[in-house]
Amino acid sequence: MDLTAVKDKKYNYIEVGEGTPIVILHGLMGGLSNFEGVANYFSTKGYKIVIPELPLYTQNILKTNVKAFAKYVKDFITYKGFDRVILLGNSLGGHIALYHTKMYPEKVAGLIITGSSGLYESAMGDSYPKRGDYEYIKNKAEAVFYDPKVATKEIVDEVFAVVNDRIKVIKTLTIAKSAIRHNMAKDLPKMHVKTCLIWGKNDAVTPPEVAEEFNKLMPNSDLYWIDKCGHAAMMEHPDEFNRIVENWLTKEHL
């Protein structure tokens, strides 16, 4: 299926399928292509899959934070004319989905989050990598997955390009600090939206205990595990990820 991004006024996004809108939010180092398996599957199942490119590196530094990105998502949903949507987010995208739901609960019919920040996440390590250290970046990218082969050269090259761009490095650190500042622990018990938590049992970035904490704090959540899986379940085990999501959507009549 053609997953070419649409450039539309101030938004850049992929849109495939017809039906109930599922808006997918990518992570800090994650591109739109990370969700190819999800988009191809659910766009044939009565869902409209929409993946906006988040303005992580293009907004003013004062708007480079979780709250501003959540507002951006709300504006995008309004622009697309959607009444209520299902939000699916990975990593930082999960955090933005959660914060958006806190701010605009009337816009969200359901939440699917996988490897989400918002409570705790392990950063790049003790120090930001030296620019030009490709091997270091390769090792870091591979550590995101249970199977290091999932970190293709294309993925490593994308991360390497970010690390070698001074402005993007500054904004990446700004976002990381914002993620810590916008901790959701106090908000989650008040959020009653139907929530599907899908976690890799071997996630080293947001470890399994983070998923258990999300499940404990969120009143209306279900937690599903994927074995031999790291931080990006929808990339590492797309078929199992899709099966869990489909069963959950059916169970919740979404």
179-190 per-position pLDDT tens digit: 999 999 999 999
- Give 143's strand partners: none
- Identity (one letter) of the amino acid at 181? R
Residue 8: pLDDT band with limits 50, 70, 90: confident
Mean pLDDT of the chain: 93
Q: Who has greater pLDDT, 122 or 207?
A: 207
When pLDDT is averaged across residues 16-35 and rounded to a whole number, the result is 91
Predicted local distance difference test score (pLDDT) of residue 31 = 78
Residue 132 has pLDDT above 90, yes or no: no
Q: Are 190 and 220 in contact (CB under 8 A)?
A: no
Residue that the structure tokens 């205990």 belong to? 209
Environment class of 233 (CB within 10 Å of its CB; exposed 0-12, middle 13-18, buried 19+): buried
Q: Which of 92-106, 109-123, 181-195 has the lowest mean pLDDT?
A: 109-123
How would you write the chain as a 3-class SS string?
CCCCCEEECCEEEEEECCCEEEEEECCCCCCHHHHHHHHHHHCCCCEEEEEECCCCCCCCHHHCCHHHHHHHHHHHHHHCCCCCEEEEEECHHHHHHHHHHHHCHHHEEEEEEECCCCCCCCCCCCCCCCCCCHHHHHHHHHHCCCCHHHCCHHHHHHHHHHHCCHHHHHHHHHHHHHHHHCCCCCCHHHCCCCEEEEEECCCCCCCHHHHHHHHHHCCCEEEEEECCCCCCHHHHCHHHHHHHHHHHHHHCCC
pTM of the full structure: 0.95
Q: Which of 72-76, 133-137, 142-146, 239-243 has the lowest mean pLDDT?
A: 133-137
Predicted local distance difference test score (pLDDT) of residue 9 = 79
Residue 87: pLDDT band with limits 50, 70, 90: very high
Residue 123 has pLDDT above 90, yes or no: no
Residue 125 has pLDDT above 50, yes or no: no
Predicted local distance difference test score (pLDDT) of residue 126 = 44
Residue 129: pLDDT band with limits 50, 70, 90: low
When pLDDT is averaged across residues 189-213 and rounded to a whole number, the result is 97
When pLDDT is averaged across residues 212-221 and rounded to a whole number, the result is 98
When pLDDT is averaged across residues 139-165 and rounded to a whole number, the result is 93
Residue 124: pLDDT band with limits 50, 70, 90: very low
When pLDDT is averaged across residues 43-56 and rounded to a whole number, the result is 96
Tell me the pairing of strands 47-52 and 11-16: antiparallel
